[in-house]
Structure 1
């Protein structure tokens, strides 16, 4: 992964917390793999057990609530929405074939991953809690 993609993802996600029952920060992740990303390969790369449940979502579905501006949002909330919109834009500008993988059921590890121009995997990870 080129430094600029990591830098752009770090900068775009810095200070943002993904809202669920816990608010978690984002971490930049990358793997130099040239293999097609299967659910089995994802679990291997991320150190999850091979039988962990994996659910896939599109990047737009995953960020739908975070990127939707609402009439009742105050100025700070509107600013946060703009930052999430920018984050999605940075992901789409730098990565192709972006997919979101949700690993687990209650304590969920989410990976927003795509292909870099050099052919590796890169993106962001965060944690969600859904009970």
Structure 2
């Protein structure tokens, strides 16, 4: 099941960039069953120092701007919004306990991770720059 969700996420996020002060692509992330994912466990899995700052967000909060259609969007921007809406839908349909972890400050690594039907962890990672 993890392979299936990984494939779906890869296809849905292909050529999508998350906009911040740097536009970063998404990468698919999978880990075998870990039990409940906590900020501490995420830091261990991603080999960050144990005192790295971690901020939690919901998927809806994180993707709010990317999934909002605006009157002033052109056709390409509307297509991008629809692709982000599709990506969020795939995440929500295939992963439970979905959570966004923001690690670091200014240069932030983002992990959008949930639990697969088989108990493994899967999702996406990207980078943000916020000054």
TM-score normalized by the length of structure 2: 0.98
Partner SS, residue 85 of structure 1: helix
Structure 1: unaligned runs, 5 residues or longer: none
Partner SS, residue 64 of structure 2: coil
Q: How does 1:1-131 map to 2 (within 5 A)?
A: 2-131=2-131
Partner SS, residue 15 of structure 1: coil
Please state how far the C-alpha of 1:13 moved relative to its aligned partner.
Answer: 0.3
- Stretch of structure 1 that moved more, 25-34 or 99-108: 25-34
RMSD (CA atoms): 0.8
Q: For the Cα contact (< 8 Å) 2:25–2:126, is it kept in 1?
A: yes
Please state how far the C-alpha of 1:3 moved relative to its aligned partner.
Answer: 1.6
Please state how far the C-alpha of 1:34 moved relative to its aligned partner.
Answer: 2.8
* Equivalent residues, number: 131
Partner SS, residue 33 of structure 2: coil
Segments of 4+ in structure 1 off by > 2 A?
A: none
Structure 2: unaligned runs, 5 residues or longer: none
Q: Deviations over 1:90-125 (max 9, x none)?
A: 101110110000000100000000000000110000
